[in-house]
Amino acid sequence: MSASTASLTTTSTSTSATTTTSATTVRPSLWKPGLLAGLVAALATTTVVMVARVADVPVAVQGEQIPLAGFAQLTLVATVIGIVIARVLSTRARHPRHTFVVATVALTAVSLVPDVLADATTASRLTLGLTHLVAAAIVIPTLAKRLPA
């Protein structure tokens, strides 16, 4: 009986060590899909602004039009920040996906505040806010689905 007990203990320890090793080495791939989503979001936000301008919405703050390239650039910067947040949460949060979604939705809401307060027409403020929501709708799900639940 003691021989079978020793055998069970060895098997159990071996299985436990294997599980721990594989759990610590698995990390979600975030950079490539995140940057691809960022490029798609940059194109989408730029398109939103182009359509608004065609519809005679100036997309201007304090009377100055925002350069079209600025939308793509800021979308990509925000995407990189989102990737870094996802990466940190993937190793430190108990529930990385949920924590990431809650945090990034909250950050998206905060990002709308300057748009609401901007010295701009209502149509420009709505367009600016829409660009934030469009980018978030593309980038957040892309990164979230790659995080452990």
pLDDT tens digit sequence for 102-141: 999 999 999 999 999 999 999 999 999 999 999 999 999 9
Query: What sign does the CA torsion over 96, 143, 91, 29 have?
Result: positive
**What phi and psi values does residue 29 have, to the nearest 5 degrees?**
-85, 115
Q: Structural domain boundaries of the chain?
A: 28-144
pLDDT: which is higher, 21 or 50 = 50
By CB atoms closer than 10 A (0-12, 13-18, 19+), residue 49 is: buried
Element (H, E) at 64: strand 64-65
pTM of the model as a whole: 0.80
pLDDT score of 46 more than 70:
yes
pLDDT score of 62 more than 50:
yes
